Protein backbone atom coordinates (compact mmCIF):
# COMPACT_ATOMS: atom_id res chain seq x y z
CA UNK A 1 0.00 0.00 0.00
CA UNK A 2 1.28 3.49 -0.86
CA UNK A 3 2.24 5.49 2.22
CA UNK A 4 -0.01 8.46 2.93
CA UNK A 5 1.88 11.69 2.39
CA UNK A 6 1.61 14.31 5.15
CA UNK A 7 1.81 18.10 5.18
CA UNK A 8 2.36 19.61 8.64
CA UNK A 9 0.40 22.86 8.52
CA UNK A 10 2.16 24.54 11.41
CA UNK A 11 5.84 24.45 12.30
CA UNK A 12 8.07 27.27 13.48
CA UNK A 13 11.60 28.17 12.53
CA UNK A 14 13.57 28.54 15.74
CA UNK A 15 15.92 31.57 15.82
CA UNK A 16 19.01 29.45 16.33
CA UNK A 17 21.88 28.29 14.11
CA UNK A 18 21.12 25.04 12.35
CA UNK A 19 17.37 25.34 12.90
CA UNK A 20 16.53 24.59 9.27
CA UNK A 21 18.64 21.44 9.21
CA UNK A 22 17.12 20.20 12.49
CA UNK A 23 13.64 20.89 11.14
CA UNK A 24 14.26 18.92 7.96
CA UNK A 25 15.80 16.05 9.92
CA UNK A 26 12.73 15.95 12.17
CA UNK A 27 10.36 16.02 9.21
CA UNK A 28 12.28 13.14 7.63
CA UNK A 29 12.27 11.16 10.86
CA UNK A 30 8.51 11.52 11.21
CA UNK A 31 7.71 10.83 7.57
CA UNK A 32 6.43 14.36 6.95
CA UNK A 33 6.65 15.38 3.31
CA UNK A 34 5.96 19.12 3.55
CA UNK A 35 5.42 21.80 6.20
CA UNK A 36 4.04 25.32 6.50
CA UNK A 37 6.70 27.40 8.27
CA UNK A 38 6.14 30.48 10.46
CA UNK A 39 8.73 32.47 12.36
CA UNK A 40 9.53 31.42 15.90
CA UNK A 41 11.22 33.33 18.67
CA UNK A 42 9.07 36.44 18.35
CA UNK A 43 8.56 36.34 22.10
CA UNK A 44 10.36 34.62 24.96
CA UNK A 45 8.36 31.56 26.00
CA UNK A 46 8.28 32.50 29.68
CA UNK A 47 6.84 35.88 28.76
CA UNK A 48 4.37 34.31 26.35
CA UNK A 49 3.09 31.95 29.03
CA UNK A 50 2.65 34.91 31.38
CA UNK A 51 0.80 36.88 28.71
CA UNK A 52 -1.54 33.97 28.07
CA UNK A 53 -2.65 34.16 31.70
CA UNK A 54 -2.27 37.82 32.64
CA UNK A 55 -2.50 39.58 29.24
CA UNK A 56 0.13 41.90 27.80
CA UNK A 57 1.88 42.11 24.47
CA UNK A 58 5.12 42.72 22.64
CA UNK A 59 5.66 44.86 19.56
CA UNK A 60 8.47 42.70 18.20
CA UNK A 61 8.71 41.96 14.50
CA UNK A 62 9.06 38.34 13.40
CA UNK A 63 12.08 37.35 11.36
CA UNK A 64 10.14 36.67 8.18
CA UNK A 65 13.29 37.01 6.10
CA UNK A 66 14.76 34.02 7.92
CA UNK A 67 11.64 32.01 7.08
CA UNK A 68 12.01 32.86 3.41
CA UNK A 69 15.67 31.88 3.52
CA UNK A 70 14.89 28.56 5.19
CA UNK A 71 12.20 27.69 2.66
CA UNK A 72 14.29 28.66 -0.35
CA UNK A 73 15.79 25.79 -2.26
CA UNK A 74 13.52 23.11 -0.79
CA UNK A 75 11.44 22.68 -3.94
CA UNK A 76 8.27 23.68 -2.13
CA UNK A 77 8.75 21.27 0.74
CA UNK A 78 8.89 24.17 3.21
CA UNK A 79 6.09 26.68 2.64
CA UNK A 80 6.63 30.21 4.04
CA UNK A 81 3.93 32.13 5.95
CA UNK A 82 4.30 35.78 6.93
CA UNK A 83 3.95 36.43 10.68
CA UNK A 84 2.41 39.91 10.77
CA UNK A 85 2.89 42.55 13.44
CA UNK A 86 -0.33 44.59 13.67
CA UNK A 87 1.58 47.33 15.50
CA UNK A 88 3.03 48.16 12.07
CA UNK A 89 1.17 49.24 8.99
CA UNK A 90 0.26 46.54 6.44
CA UNK A 91 2.92 47.89 4.08
CA UNK A 92 5.71 45.44 5.06
CA UNK A 93 3.38 42.50 4.41
CA UNK A 94 2.02 43.97 1.20
CA UNK A 95 5.53 44.58 -0.12
CA UNK A 96 6.57 40.91 0.18
CA UNK A 97 3.22 39.10 0.02
CA UNK A 98 4.05 37.57 -3.35
CA UNK A 99 6.99 35.73 -1.74
CA UNK A 100 4.81 34.10 0.93
CA UNK A 101 1.93 31.63 0.81
CA UNK A 102 -0.11 32.75 3.81
CA UNK A 103 -0.43 35.03 6.83
CA UNK A 104 -0.31 34.47 10.59
CA UNK A 105 -2.00 36.70 13.17
CA UNK A 106 -1.39 36.09 16.89
CA UNK A 107 -3.16 38.16 19.57
CA UNK A 108 -1.30 35.98 22.06
CA UNK A 109 1.94 37.65 20.98
CA UNK A 110 1.00 41.13 19.79
CA UNK A 111 -2.11 41.64 21.91
CA UNK A 112 -4.31 43.25 19.24
CA UNK A 113 -7.88 42.06 18.82
CA UNK A 114 -9.03 40.32 15.67
CA UNK A 115 -11.56 42.99 14.76
CA UNK A 116 -9.15 45.87 15.34
CA UNK A 117 -8.78 48.00 12.17
CA UNK A 118 -5.06 47.19 12.09
CA UNK A 119 -5.79 43.47 11.81
CA UNK A 120 -8.59 44.08 9.33
CA UNK A 121 -6.13 46.01 7.14
CA UNK A 122 -3.82 42.97 7.12
CA UNK A 123 -6.69 40.68 6.17
CA UNK A 124 -7.51 43.03 3.30
CA UNK A 125 -4.02 42.38 1.95
CA UNK A 126 -4.38 38.63 2.45
CA UNK A 127 -7.67 38.71 0.55
CA UNK A 128 -6.05 40.58 -2.34
CA UNK A 129 -3.34 37.92 -2.78
CA UNK A 130 -5.51 34.89 -1.93
CA UNK A 131 -3.58 33.97 1.22
CA UNK A 132 -5.04 31.73 3.91
CA UNK A 133 -4.80 33.23 7.41
CA UNK A 134 -3.63 31.22 10.43
CA UNK A 135 -4.96 32.62 13.72
CA UNK A 136 -4.14 31.87 17.36
CA UNK A 137 -7.12 32.74 19.58
CA UNK A 138 -7.28 33.48 23.32
CA UNK A 139 -9.91 33.44 26.05
CA UNK A 140 -9.88 37.23 26.05
CA UNK A 141 -12.25 39.92 24.75
CA UNK A 142 -11.45 40.69 21.11
CA UNK A 143 -9.24 37.65 20.61
CA UNK A 144 -11.64 34.76 21.08
CA UNK A 145 -13.04 32.23 18.64
CA UNK A 146 -16.26 34.23 18.42
CA UNK A 147 -14.18 37.19 17.23
CA UNK A 148 -12.55 34.99 14.60
CA UNK A 149 -16.03 33.96 13.47
CA UNK A 150 -17.00 37.62 13.07
CA UNK A 151 -13.80 38.29 11.12
CA UNK A 152 -14.36 35.27 8.85
CA UNK A 153 -17.92 36.36 8.17
CA UNK A 154 -16.64 39.79 7.22
CA UNK A 155 -14.19 38.17 4.75
CA UNK A 156 -16.04 35.14 3.36
CA UNK A 157 -13.57 34.87 0.49
CA UNK A 158 -10.62 34.35 2.87
CA UNK A 159 -9.83 30.91 4.29
CA UNK A 160 -9.00 31.07 8.00
CA UNK A 161 -7.29 28.38 10.05
CA UNK A 162 -8.00 28.27 13.78
CA UNK A 163 -4.73 27.12 15.31
CA UNK A 164 -4.04 24.71 18.17
CA UNK A 165 -7.52 23.15 18.26
CA UNK A 166 -8.99 26.38 19.60
CA UNK A 167 -8.25 27.67 23.09
CA UNK A 168 -6.67 25.20 25.49
CA UNK A 169 -6.71 21.47 24.91
CA UNK A 170 -10.43 20.71 25.28
CA UNK A 171 -12.18 23.48 23.33
CA UNK A 172 -15.25 21.69 22.06
CA UNK A 173 -17.07 25.02 22.25
CA UNK A 174 -14.82 26.37 19.48
CA UNK A 175 -16.16 23.64 17.22
CA UNK A 176 -19.71 24.78 17.97
CA UNK A 177 -18.80 28.40 17.17
CA UNK A 178 -17.12 27.68 13.83
CA UNK A 179 -19.34 24.84 12.63
CA UNK A 180 -21.54 27.04 10.44
CA UNK A 181 -18.68 29.19 9.10
CA UNK A 182 -17.32 27.19 6.15
CA UNK A 183 -14.25 29.35 5.57
CA UNK A 184 -12.79 28.44 9.00
CA UNK A 185 -10.65 25.30 9.19
CA UNK A 186 -9.21 23.73 12.36
CA UNK A 187 -5.50 22.91 12.83
CA UNK A 188 -5.15 20.20 15.44
CA UNK A 189 -1.89 20.74 17.34
CA UNK A 190 -2.17 20.84 21.11
CA UNK A 191 -5.75 19.65 21.50
CA UNK A 192 -6.82 16.37 23.00
CA UNK A 193 -7.57 13.39 20.80
CA UNK A 194 -11.23 13.80 21.78
CA UNK A 195 -11.27 17.27 20.24
CA UNK A 196 -9.72 16.04 16.98
CA UNK A 197 -12.31 13.28 16.84
CA UNK A 198 -15.15 15.71 17.55
CA UNK A 199 -13.86 18.08 14.88
CA UNK A 200 -14.04 15.34 12.29
CA UNK A 201 -17.66 14.69 13.21
CA UNK A 202 -18.83 18.29 13.66
CA UNK A 203 -16.86 20.06 10.93
CA UNK A 204 -16.23 17.17 8.57
CA UNK A 205 -12.87 15.77 7.55
CA UNK A 206 -12.64 18.40 4.79
CA UNK A 207 -12.18 21.23 7.35
CA UNK A 208 -9.48 19.69 9.57
CA UNK A 209 -5.72 19.94 8.96
CA UNK A 210 -2.83 18.25 10.71
CA UNK A 211 -0.27 20.46 12.45
CA UNK A 212 2.40 19.91 15.09
CA UNK A 213 3.71 23.27 16.43
CA UNK A 214 7.27 21.95 16.07
CA UNK A 215 9.69 22.57 17.81
CA UNK A 216 7.49 23.19 20.88
CA UNK A 217 5.77 19.88 20.20
CA UNK A 218 7.40 16.94 18.46
CA UNK A 219 5.44 15.94 15.34
CA UNK A 220 5.55 12.28 16.41
CA UNK A 221 3.33 13.14 19.38
CA UNK A 222 0.72 14.78 17.17
CA UNK A 223 0.83 11.91 14.68
CA UNK A 224 0.04 9.41 17.44
CA UNK A 225 -3.10 11.43 18.21
CA UNK A 226 -4.48 10.45 14.83
CA UNK A 227 -3.05 6.93 14.82
CA UNK A 228 -5.09 6.00 17.88
CA UNK A 229 -8.25 7.29 16.21
CA UNK A 230 -7.88 4.68 13.46
CA UNK A 231 -9.35 6.94 10.79
CA UNK A 232 -10.51 5.54 7.47
CA UNK A 233 -7.84 6.12 4.84
CA UNK A 234 -9.96 8.67 2.98
CA UNK A 235 -10.46 10.82 6.09
CA UNK A 236 -6.76 10.72 7.01
CA UNK A 237 -5.79 11.66 3.45
CA UNK A 238 -7.94 14.79 3.67
CA UNK A 239 -6.58 15.80 7.08
CA UNK A 240 -2.96 14.96 6.30
CA UNK A 241 -2.69 16.21 2.73
CA UNK A 242 -5.69 17.28 0.65
CA UNK A 243 -7.11 20.04 2.86
CA UNK A 244 -3.78 21.75 3.33
CA UNK A 245 -3.25 21.87 -0.40
CA UNK A 246 -6.69 23.33 -0.95
CA UNK A 247 -5.86 26.03 1.58
CA UNK A 248 -2.64 26.76 -0.30
CA UNK A 249 -4.48 26.84 -3.61
CA UNK A 250 -2.59 23.81 -4.91
CA UNK A 251 -3.78 20.71 -6.68
CA UNK A 252 -3.39 17.48 -4.76
CA UNK A 253 -1.58 14.62 -6.39
Asked whether residue 106 carries a pLDDT value surpassing 90, the answer given is: yes
The per-residue pLDDT for 1 is 46
Does the residue 253 lie in any domain?
no
Domain residue limits at 75: 7-247
* pLDDT on residue 67: 98
pLDDT band at 253 (very low <50, low <70, confident <90, very high): low
Instruction: Check: pTM over 0.95? Answer yes or no.
Output: yes
pLDDT, residue 165, reads: 97
* pLDDT class of 230 with cuts at 50, 70, 90: very high
1 inside domain: no
For 177, phi then psi, to 5°, come to -65, -40
User: Which pLDDT band, with edges at 50, 70 and 90, does 61 fall under?
Assistant: very high
Per-chain mean pLDDT for the chain: 96
pLDDT band at residue 54 using 50, 70 and 90 as cut-offs: confident
- Model pLDDT, residue 3: 85
pLDDT of residue 2: 67
Say if residue 223's pLDDT is above 80: yes
pLDDT digit string, tens, across residues 122-171: 999 999 999 999 999 999 999 999 999 999 999 999 999 999 999 999 99
Averaged pLDDT, 117-123 = 98
User: Per the structure, how many domains does the chain have?
Assistant: 1
Domain annotation covers residue 252: no
Domain of 236, CATH number, reads 3.20.20.140
Do residues 11 and 212 touch, judged by C-beta distance below 8 A?
yes
pLDDT at 32: 98
| Mean pLDDT on 111-132 | 98
Q: Residue 251 has what pLDDT?
A: 84
pLDDT band at 71 (very low <50, low <70, confident <90, very high): very high
For the cut 80, the answer to whether the pLDDT of residue 179 exceeds it is yes
Amino acid sequence: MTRQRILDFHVRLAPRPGARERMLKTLDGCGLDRAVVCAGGVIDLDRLSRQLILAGHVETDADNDAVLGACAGTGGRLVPFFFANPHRTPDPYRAVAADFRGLEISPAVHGIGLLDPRVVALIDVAASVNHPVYVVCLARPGAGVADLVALAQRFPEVRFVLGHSGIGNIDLYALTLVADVPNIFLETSGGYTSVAEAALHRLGAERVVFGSEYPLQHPAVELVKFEVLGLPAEQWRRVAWDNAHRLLGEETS
